[in-house]
Amino acid sequence: MIAHGIRTLGVLGAGQMGTGIALVSALRAKVPVLLHDRSQDQVIKGLAFVDKLLEKDVSKGRISSEEAKEARDRITGVDGVHAMRDVDMVVEAVSENLSLKQKIFQQFATELSPEAILASNTSSISITKIAASTIPECVSAASDAGKKTAGRVVGLHFFNPVPVMKLVELISALQTTSDTLDRARSFATACGKEVTTSKDVPGFVSNALLMPFINEAIMCLEQGTATRDDIDTTMKLGMNHPMGPLQLADFIGLDTCLAIQETLYAGTRDSKYRPSVLLERMVDAGWYGKKSGKGFYDYN
């Protein structure tokens, strides 16, 4: 396995995904992590969650208190991308919004080392598009082994909850170099994850399969085919899923589910991917699932 060569990692976005990525990187890959979010409160909340998870690991005897302290000490909250200028890799884990991600990647391209790997944890947005908007003038340049070009942009898709889920999906943009792919794969392995690879198609493999399943479950509810509990129980007991699709949608975030489904619909122009109206209305209402306290279930 090729050495990943990541001496310091940047993580942008301290929500449930970014915080989880910071934790596995510090605990498993033992890499110092600089964590940034535009909301300082979110960083504080994220670090408090890391503390809680590390304490639980210690109380269950999975790690020693020294290991927990070392891991925690490796994670530092920072006040901007400028503070990440010396990282060897950055993972962006902000919400599923193309223009936001493009802005962030343009900032990475100007403020970070020209050799840093630029990874996105996007669930469905084209890595090729993100890469092209990052360094447009270099898209077709084969020179420089991808160092100063879009060849260092890659998709590194973790799953929620990151500390528990064993998979990372690796997505190659058209521009991604093999060196970038190998190092990103090696880093994910060091984080204790199994890696699968997917072409850069809408939703990649994971969400091209998962999100239509969730969307169909919401349509079943919308059409009155069955109750919420019967839909979830059918899949839990009949198919051995750990949670039903409606509970899983709440857990992922209904805003994220809708954003992914819209990417599938727009990216394929296939009507089979049209988002459920009920999903759209719930997002309109601000019922995002577990993180907002209400979704298909009530969390208050």
Whether residue 13 contacts residue 94, with contact meaning beta carbons closer than 8 Å, is answered with: yes
37 is in an annotated binding site: yes
Q: What is the DSSP string of 12-77?
A: E--SHHHHHHHHHHHHTS---EEEE-S-HHHHHHHHHHHHHHHHHHHHTTSS-HHHHHHHHHTEEE
Check binding of 53 to ligand 3HC (CB under 6 A).
yes
Q: How many residues bind ligand 3HC (CB under 6 A)?
A: 18
Q: Residue 128 CB, nearest distance to ligand 3HC (Å)?
A: 18
Q: Using CB under 6 A, which of the segments 72-80, 109-117, 204-212, 261-269 binds ligand 3HC?
A: 204-212
- Considering the complex, state which of residue 9 and residue 53 has its C-beta at the smaller distance from ligand 3HC: 53
- Please tell me which residue in 124, 157, 215, 276 is annotated as part of the active site: 157
**Structure token pair of residue 299:** 């969390």
- Beta pairing class for 89-92 and 194-198: unpaired
CA distance 169 to 220: 29
Q: Residue 299 CB, nearest distance to ligand 3HC (Å)?
A: 12
CA distance 110 to 118: 12
Q: Using CB under 6 A, which of the segments 134-142, 206-214, 227-235, 281-289 binds ligand 3HC?
A: 206-214
Q: Using CB under 6 A, which of the segments 68-76, 79-87, 112-120, 155-163 binds ligand 3HC?
A: 155-163
Q: Using CB under 6 A, which of the segments 24-32, 134-142, 148-156, 248-256 binds ligand 3HC?
A: 248-256
Known catalytic residue at 157:
yes
The alpha helices in the chain, defined as continuous H runs, are: 16-27, 40-59, 65-73, 98-111, 127-134, 178-190, 204-222, 228-239, 245-252, 254-268, 277-284
Check binding of 164 to ligand 3HC (CB under 6 A).
yes
x-or-dash pattern for ligand 3HC, window 56-75, by CB under 6 A? x---x---------------
DSSP 291: G
Site for ligand 3HC in 11-50 (CB under 6 A): none
Among 58, 165, 201, 205, binds ligand 3HC (CB under 6 A): 165
Q: Residue 160 CB, nearest distance to ligand 3HC (Å)?
A: 4
Residue where the block lists tokens 């989880």: 20
CA distance 98 to 276: 21
**Structure token pair of residue 156:** 């590194």
Annotated binding site for NAD(+): 13-18, 37, 96, 101, 123, 160, 291
